[in-house]
Amino acid sequence: MCSFTDYFVICSGESSRQLEAIRDEIWHVMKKVGNPPHHCEGTTESGWLLMDFNDVIVHIFTKPERQRYQLDELWRGASPVIRIQ
C-alpha cells in the first residue's frame, strides 16, 4: 500500500497532556526494544505529533486535528491490523 513504511498507527488523546503521555510511553517502549524513533515532529500544543520508527509511523492527534487531517479516510483501503475505539 505504501513504499516508505509497513504500518501506520493513528491514535487520539483528549488534551495536550494526554498526547504527551501517549508519545512518552511509545518512545520509552520502542527505545526499550531497541527501536528509538528515527524522526519526530509536531507539538502537543498543535494537537498533532508524528513519530517515525521507519517500519512504523505513529500519528497522535487531538480529536479535532484527527478530523481535520482525516488520515483514517486517506488510508481506508489499507487492511487494519487492529482497531480500538
Show Cβ contacts of residue 56 under 8 Å, excluding neighbours closer than 6 positions. 5, 6, 7, 8, 9
Bridge partners, residue 51, by sequence: 40, 58
Domains in the chain, ordered, with CATH?
7-74 (3.30.460.10)
Q: Check whether 1 has a pLDDT greater than 70.
A: no
In the DSSP assignment, the letter for residue 6 is S
Confidence of residue 78 (pLDDT cuts 50, 70, 90): confident
Whole-number Å distance between alpha carbons of 40 and 10: 15
pLDDT digits (tens, 9 = 90+) for 10-30: 999 999 999 999 999 999 999
pLDDT per residue over 51-66, tens digit each? 999 899 999 999 999 9
Average model confidence (pLDDT) across the chain: 91
**What does pTM read for this prediction?**
0.87
Work out whether the CA dihedral 26, 32, 33, 36 comes out positive or negative: positive
